[in-house]
Amino acid sequence: MDVKRIHAAAAAYARRGDRALAERLGFFGALWGVQECIEREVSTSHPYACPSSAEVAAWAAAGTPVLSQAPAYITVELLSNAASLVAARFVEKGGFSDDDQEALKSADWARIVALAPVEVAGANPEAYLDAVMNALANAEASACDGALLEPRLAGFVLSAAIKPLISSAATSVCGLARAGLVQLHAPEGGKPMACPVCGGEATMAYVGPNPFSSGNGRMLWCGQCGAEWEFERVRCARCGTQNPAHLHYVSVEGDESHRLHVCDECGGHIRTRFVEAGDLTPFSYEVEDVVTANLELVAQQLKQDNG
């Protein structure tokens, strides 16, 4: 994580005078600081052994996420310690109900982390998180100290704790692509819709100057591991259709730089940040993920209107 860039981007938004947004960015700023510390420590103690460019290219062509073949090193101790740090920061910053605050304080993260095979977290984070949340929702987990912790909150903490443990894998793989050593292509043709590193769904998109295009290209970003990869400009990031008649952008009035890319075929959407050439404002996907959260309300309204 480039925390300096993250804080610079957050500061640029804070200067706009939107108090509610500044408070949200302040909350997440504390989280990003913890994640950076975790990432730095893990990258030193357990550096990720990046596969060869040939292996990465072959796995991408087969639609196989890199981590499924070359998992990140994660143990119960590593993940529970990371989760404890994240939860402690959440308690410090507040913003949760009294019940959630108490649950975060009393949770036994070592026991919660062990509710699912922890090695899965390094190979398939989404599957691991689903397994833990299902276990917490199951009556059999009632003996766990974290039983009072709602599955959604446990998932939020664990997802935030897993990211710095796998982000070096994303950095390594995406570095190969940026250097031109790997061309990331999907088995069905075109660019991958799912994250080529962890297999997760793309969180948001970027349209603007990038290393892969002489003009304004398009990139997808995975919020779970931090990977970014090139994607077609006219294509749905959810179903893959390239029918321009079924793809369009929706934005909030007065803000054309933050838009939803909406697909009429599958009903899917992806939040998109447009950056014009020459715009020197610091850019950070992590910050944009927070800034564009309001677009999910727009997406819900669109579904209701079209439902």
Q: How confident is the model at residue 46 (pLDDT cuts 50, 70, 90)?
A: very high
Q: Specify whether domain 3-306 bears CATH 3.90.1670.
A: yes
pLDDT at residue 307 in the model:
66
Q: What is the pLDDT of residues 259-302, one digit of tens each?
A: 999 999 999 999 999 998 888 899 999 999 999 998 998 888 88
Ranked by mean pLDDT, which of 13-27, 176-190, 219-233 comes out on top? Answer: 219-233
Q: Report pLDDT digits (tens) over 206-228.
A: 999 887 766 779 999 999 999 99
Find the farthest-apart pair of alpha carbons in the chain and give their distance in angstroms, rounded: 58
Q: For residue range 228-237, list pLDDT tens digits in order.
A: 999 999 999 9
Give the pLDDT score at 306: 77
**252: nearest Cα among 301, 285, 194, 218:** 301
Percent of the chain with pLDDT over 70: 96
